[in-house]
Amino acid sequence: MSGVRIKEYREKMNFSQRDLAGLLGVSVRSVARWERNISKPHPDEMKKITKITGITEDELLRSDDTSYESKKTVLDEIADGVGNLVTGQDIINESLNINHNELVKELQAQNEQLLSIIDSYKAALDSSRNDLRQKRIRTITILITCLLILILIFGTWLYWRNHGFDGRVIEGSAELGTPSYNQVDDGQ
């Protein structure tokens, strides 16, 4: 049975589901279930429906699905729906392509920024390495200079110890080529 027919005749008579349910002595839920083809009216209820609507039971039971026009309409609606889906998919694909291109451009820009930052860090690191190398060279130069100064001071001190400030050899000094204090013959 076609619940669509019950709904169609109910609407032609300007009845709400509540009105029809009241005339038939059933619940509004029952009428709604008939119209959606979830359930069928009881034979007694069917007789009441035919009396109220003024149509035969055969007309009510005739299914709309058997008519060519009905099938054509359904097929046309399906074709329109498929066409809309294809159009919608085309729009989505176009949008994705646009978004994809924009995303690729943005990622490339960010990549260039990152490469620039990496290059600046490399330059700073190279500069730091050069500074460190220069500091090491300065430190080694200072250490060598200090060592040479110490050697010069020690040598000067040794010279003054053996020769005095006036340059004459001090007796008993341990100068090279000079006898040691114990070896000096003092005439005794």
- Measured distance CA(188)–CA(176) in Å, rounded: 25
C-alpha 2/C-alpha 9 separation (Å) is 11
Res 16: pLDDT:
93
Residue 23, H or E segment: helix 17-24
For 3-64, give the CATH class.
Answer: mainly alpha
Using one digit for the tens of pLDDT, what is the confidence trace for 56-85? 888 777 755 555 566 667 777 888 888 888
Q: 164 or 174: whose pLDDT is higher?
A: 164
For the segment 86-110, what is each residue's pLDDT rounded down to a tens digit?
888 888 888 788 888 888 888 899 9
Q: Which pLDDT band, with edges at 50, 70 and 90, does 171 fall under?
A: confident
**Residue ranges per structural domain of the chain:** 3-64
Specify whether the CB–CB gap between 184 and 172 falls below 8 A: yes
